[in-house]
Amino acid sequence: MVEHSQTSNEITSDYAAVGGGAAISSVVDLFYQSVLADPQLVGYFEGTDLARLKRHQVQLVSQVMGGPVSYEGADLAEAHRGRGITDADFGRVVEHLIAALAAHSVPEDIVGRVVQALGATQGDIVTAR
């Protein structure tokens, strides 16, 4: 008898694998909670419309995870220009993102892909040394 098993060539996006938009919203909420609780980072976000920021970050993360969502925010270089963001700041932000994903039990291989995709933006975001 041939047992039914999920076919190995069925493609599931990382977006679907983690639970879709609701899960990603929850990750992004925790992510900004940690970023804004970090004394090294909080100053950068003074005057930022957090609802808009979170909406755009959810779109971006969903998009890089293969979800049916398109990023509609500003070009990332433009959004971060003139803010004096350092490599160290960037590293801290990535750490908070990894922690938020891990806190939601997102598997390591998926975390790795998200970090790789968003980490590639470093050259656009870091403008200070």
Min. distance of Cβ 21 from ligand HEM in angstroms?
A: 16
- At closest approach, how far in Å is the CB of 29 from ligand HEM? 15
Rounded Cα–Cα distance for residues 11 and 13 (Å):
6
Q: Give residue number: closest CB to ligand HEM.
A: 73
Measured from the CB atom, is 21 or 44 closer to ligand HEM?
Answer: 44
- Cβ 104 to ligand HEM, closest distance in Å? 17
Instruction: CB nearer to ligand HEM: give 68 or 83.
Output: 83
Using an 8 Å Cβ cutoff, are 17 and 110 in contact? yes
Chain position carrying tokens 């293969």: 66
Indicate the residue among 14 and 89 with the shorter CB distance to ligand HEM: 89
The residues of the shown chain that bind ligand HEM, judged by CB under 6 A, are: 41, 44-45, 48, 52-53, 56-57, 60, 73-74, 76, 79-80, 83, 85, 89-90, 93-94, 118, 121, 125
Tokens of 51: 């609802």
Residue whose entry in the numeric block shows the structure tokens 């098993």: 5
CB 65 within 8 A of CB 18: yes
CB of 10 to ligand HEM, least distance (A): 29
CA–CA gap between residue 27 and residue 83 (Å, rounded): 25
**102 CB-near residues (< 8 Å, 6+ apart):** 111
